[in-house]
A and B are shown apart, each in its own frame.
Chain A
Amino acid sequence: MKNDLIILPSAQPSFFKSMGSDIINTKTSSNEPVIESEVITNNQEITSVKKSEKKEYQILVKNVNVFYSEFQALKDINMEVSPKSITAFIGPSGCGKSTFLRTLNRMNDYIDSFKIKGDIFINGKNIYNEKIILEQLRKDVGMVFQKPNPFPKSILENAIYGLRIQGIKDKSFLAERAEDSLKQVGLWDEVKDNLKKSALALSGGQQQRLCIARTLAVEPEIILMDEPTSALDPISTGRIEELIFELKKNYTIVIVTHNMQQASRISDNTAFFYLGELVEQGKTNDIFTNPKYKRTENYITGRFG
């Protein structure tokens, strides 16, 4: 993924850059003109966003630029995500959507060459502030990955790992929470007699649901999903999609997907990324039925990417 990011645009940087800035300009003038253009023209006042504006959105992204050493992976991203909604990120490989997703819980911090400019507010707090405690942020903003990655431990241990590391030792509480979260993902009936079995013995779809259960067990507010079904068969994918839809009642979900149908089926809002630019965002219905930009239309209809 990271490699893709670096290889793709460096092929013709200047060409793409000029193209990119065109997109941004047209976007700000036509798409959500009032708020967006204000934010962009008042660059200096970005850090002092009004309290009310910060509170309204669960996630508020202001002029985010991301660099890997010299290479700019994300260019001037602005976005708002309302509570208890599903937002889908779409775009071709290497367009920066996964990178952007991972900036939302600061998972990119472990990449030495990673640099970010701009601000991301979650529940009104700037998460790139020095005072932010990473462990607390990750507890509030959970993440599910592309390939199911259960720990090589028992199913039960997987489900309660997030609580264990918080120092919770109360056995009955842990068991209760494990049962709750496994029930939420519909895995309980399948595994309740085998909780001590290794999680690696489960099927891919079960593993991914276990990974979601493990995330739910720490009670996050936001769940980030990085192509959670791309390694699964259609039936497992269907189950996970139903589950995501179900989870919307209680959680804010941001999902990266390569599957157009998936994005249109489950998401409320869609954002289309291309070469590090956020080309277009809006209601999923609008994006899929009436995209503003040719590039979006081409991607959605499968003419490129």
Chain B
Amino acid sequence: MNKIRINRLKDKGFSVLGMVSTLFGLILLGVLFGDIIIEGVQRINWDFLTNLPSRKPEKSGIFTAMMGSVWILLLTTIISFPIGVAAAVYLEEYATKGRLSRILEINISNLAGVPSIIYGLLGLEVFARLMGLGPSVLAGSLTLSLLILPIIIVATRESIKAVPSSIRDASFALGASKWQTTYFQVLPASFGGILTGVILALSRAVGEAAPLIVVGALAYVPFAPKTPMDEFSVMPIQIFNWISRPQHGFIVNASAAIIVLLVITFAMNGVAMYLRSRWQKRIKW
């Protein structure tokens, strides 16, 4: 065999290997989905979505957990979005690039890798106990905000960085202040990317169970929260709770709840992808 044929064979070999690697995760995920859908899809109906939890599997629904998740999502957005974007704008546009900003930068990237249970412990100590918020929606949202802030900051900084400096120059040269330049030029131009990052971060938050369990989100809450100070449960905790029960009916419930949760996260990711493509189309440098 000559060299060229060996190289071509290697090429083929790698493409097969690459395809297997690509499909590895997808196939496993597909098997899991199939299993869950077969098990749970017949359980999804209006009653399942609107019923309160119950001791009988066929009577319980995910209403409280879903409303808990909605509350958590809303509050987490309200808290983390402005803080994260402001921090990113500061780091990118205002802070002098020196040793201090480099240290901050590295630490923020590190924070993104801290296990979520650690954030849970922090939330329990600071928000639930020290600030006296107890196991409330607000304490949970604050904890999750901490968890996703690094993700939002990193994503926002990346999209701010992508705005060409010629646009800033143009704005400054016309007499704009730093804030005007940021507000009128940099933020609008990077907003698609920022929004994408925020939504992806939130879709991670909506799937978190561990930190909320530590903060004290109860597995059994009879009613949906009405104020930020109410106790709450969220869908991942509800799923965990049902799966750990012995009756088969609860396993079916858990599968159905997983489907609902997946639909929500997929929808959020879809919105993020849509926004990204729309903004990219609007702005071409």
Contact = CB atoms under 8 A, between A and B. Distances in A.
A152 to B, nearest CB: 5
Nearest to A148: B166
B284 A161 contact: no
Give the interface centre of B96, B97, B184 by most chain A CB atoms within 10 Å. Answer: B184
A147 to B, nearest CB: 6
Nearest to A111: B97
B15 interface: no
A151 B171 CA distance: 8
B283 A149 contact: no
B74 to A, nearest CB: 31
B169 A149 contact: yes
Contacts of A145: 166, 169-170, 173
Interface string A134-168: 11101100110101011110000000011011100
Nearest to B96: A112
Interface in B148-179: 164, 166-177
Nearest to A138: B175
Interface in B30-89: none
B180 interface: yes
A165 B98 contact: no
Nearest to A142: B173
A138 B173 contact: yes
B185 interface: yes
Contact of B174 (A110, A161, A200): A161
Interface string B166-203: 11111111111100100011001100000000000000
B171 A135 contact: no
Interface in A186-208: 200
A150 B166 CA distance: 9
B282 interface: yes
A161 B184 contact: yes
Contacts of B282: 152
A254 interface: no
A218 B166 contact: no
Nearest to B284: A200
A107 B169 contact: yes
A211 interface: yes
Q: How large is the interface on B (under 10, 10 to 19, 20 to 34, 35 or more residues)?
A: 20 to 34
Contacts of A211: 170
A164 B175 CA distance: 11
A105 interface: yes
A187 B168 CA distance: 24
B92 to A, nearest CB: 12
B166 A162 contact: no
A152 B184 CA distance: 11
B174 A218 contact: yes
B175 A162 contact: yes
Given A152-B282, A152-B283, A143 B173 contact: yes
A145 B173 CA distance: 10
Nearest to B97: A112
A138 to B, nearest CB: 4
Given A149-B167, A165-B184, A138 B96 contact: no
Interface in B246-285: 282-285
Nearest to B178: A110
Interface string A155-184: 000000110111000000000000000000
A135 B283 contact: no
A54 interface: no
Nearest to B98: A112
B104 to A, nearest CB: 15
Contacts of B184: 161, 164-165
A180 B272 CA distance: 42
Interface of B: 96-98, 164, 166-177, 180, 184-185, 188-189, 282-285
21 contacts: A107-B169, A107-B172, A107-B173, A110-B168, A112-B97, A112-B98, A134-B177, A136-B175, A138-B175, A139-B175, A143-B173, A145-B173, A147-B166, A149-B170, A151-B167, A152-B282, A161-B171, A162-B175, A164-B184, A165-B174, A218-B174
- 10 residue pairs, one from A and one from B, having the closest CB atoms: A162-B174, A143-B173, A149-B166, A139-B175, A138-B175, A135-B175, A149-B170, A165-B176, A152-B283, A165-B180
Given A151-B185, A161-B176, 11 more contacts: A134-B177, A138-B174, A138-B175, A150-B170, A152-B285, A161-B184, A164-B184, A165-B174, A211-B170, A215-B174, A218-B174
